[in-house]
Structure 1
Amino acid sequence: MKNPMLEALSQLLEKLLLISNFKLFSSGTPAEDKARNNFYEISSFLRGDVLEVPRTHLTHYGIYLGDNRVAHMMPDILLALTSDKGRTQKVVSNKRLILGVIGRVASIRVDTVEDFAYGADILVNHLDKSLKKKALLNEEVAQRAEKLLGMTPYSLLWNNCEHFVTYCRFGTPISPQADKFCENVKIIIRDQRSVLASAVLGLASIFCLGLASYTTLPAIFIPFFLWMAG
């Protein structure tokens, strides 16, 4: 049975991660739009390679399947609204992606290298060096990715594109990006100034909105939990 407090905290952390990386989903600048015409040396990619696309704050990952095809996990709210593959297979717009993250609905889909990278530079098998893990054989990596194609639950913290890729590549789903974010949140929580700041904000909300349960309870419990966690 899930702990309601832990589940609520998990959802809060995911929303914070989404907000802190909102620029990832924003429209590109004119320079970025121009960069979408980048030419990619597809012939240098091997089936089973991990393709890594650095964004403003996050990095997107995929598995190269060969023939200009990349398998990657992509949030998409349209998957919850229609089963029409003609519509869902189109390139996911920013709005569909953001709503998909919030709705926790995604799919492991196949796109061209160009649509996957969206004009950004591509790093190949960079995770092998950064994680210092032994990769599986490329063909096994590609086959793992192909077996997972289709709908999947999505979570910024527990089941994102990096979890998908590391499972295929190394056999274990991990996400250093999510781990780093959680560590930063821990640092903030352990900072006693957070307790003082939350208490001040709580008192300010009571002063502005009046003495009510929806202002008083958060003003009491949030500083208390931060103090206990610290």
Structure 2
Amino acid sequence: MFPLQLLALVFISSTAPETPPEEEEKKQKFDLMFRRGDLLEVPRTLFTHFGIYLGGGRVAHFIRDILPVVSGDTILIKQIVTNTRLILGVLAKCGSVRVDSVEDFAYGAEILVNPMDKVLSDRVK
């Protein structure tokens, strides 16, 4: 049975959709700007939004959102988060950790790398 499973993996991986060259260039650009594990900050009007760079142009971040509480539809949840979803998430004190692209995380704002890791590592030496 093992050879058949291995053969299935080869065929499945070879038919996986290819990433467009533009997307690959974006990922490489972000990998040059940020290192995996960097704490990213995005200044907002009333607060600062934080995320952790995962590499490949992806950021994990906590976002207040009401939709995961009221629906289990993952396709619907992955769509653009609206202000209504955010406000209701704040009022209900619920949210979730999302993995989004750097552009979606920043939402047009400037991205800063939090220097705390460097400050702390300099103190330890």
Task: Please give the TM-score of this superposition, normalised by the length of structure 2.
Answer: 0.68
Q: Which residue of 2 aligns with 1:62?
A: 51
Q: Which residue of 2 aligns with 1:79?
A: 68
Give the distance between the partners of 2:116 and 2:83, measured in 1 at CA: 26
Tell me, which stretches of 5 or more residues in structure 2 are unaligned? 1-25
Following superposition, the deviation at residue 91 of structure 1 comes to 2.2
Give the distance between the partners of 2:96 and 2:116, measured in 1 at CA: 22
Following superposition, the deviation at residue 125 of structure 1 comes to 2.6
Following superposition, the deviation at residue 81 of structure 1 comes to 0.8
Following superposition, the deviation at residue 124 of structure 1 comes to 1.0
Give the distance between the partners of 1:48 and 1:64, measured in 2 at CA: 5
Following superposition, the deviation at residue 134 of structure 1 comes to 4.0
Give the 4+ runs in structure 1 shifted more than 6 A: none
Q: After TM superposition, list the pairs within 5 Å mapping 1:1-230 onto structure 2.
A: 41-42=29-30, 43-128=32-117, 132-134=119-121
Pick closer, same or farther for the CA change 1:118–1:83 going to 2, 3 Å: same
Task: Please give the TM-score of this superposition, normalised by the length of structure 1.
Answer: 0.38
Aligned length: 95
Give the distance between the partners of 1:89 and 1:78, measured in 2 at CA: 10
Q: Is the 8 A contact 1:49 1:124 kept in 2?
A: yes
Pick closer, same or farther for the CA change 1:128–1:57 going to 2, 3 Å: farther
Give the distance between the partners of 1:128 and 1:47, measured in 2 at CA: 13
Give the distance between the partners of 1:128 and 1:56, measured in 2 at CA: 25
Identity %: 54
1:18-64 deviation digits (Å, cap 9, x = unpaired): xxxxxxxxxxxxxxxxxxxxx99513111111111011231000000
SS in 2 for 1:83: coil
What letter is aligned with 1:124? V
Q: Is the 8 A contact 1:52 1:126 kept in 2?
A: no
What letter is aligned with 1:119? G
What letter is aligned with 2:49? H
1:147-200 deviation digits (Å, cap 9, x = unpaired): xxxxxxxxxxxxxxxxxxxxxxxxxxxxxxxxxxxxxxxxxxxxxxxxxxxxxx
SS in 1 for 2:120: coil
Greater fraction strand: 2
SS in 2 for 1:87: helix
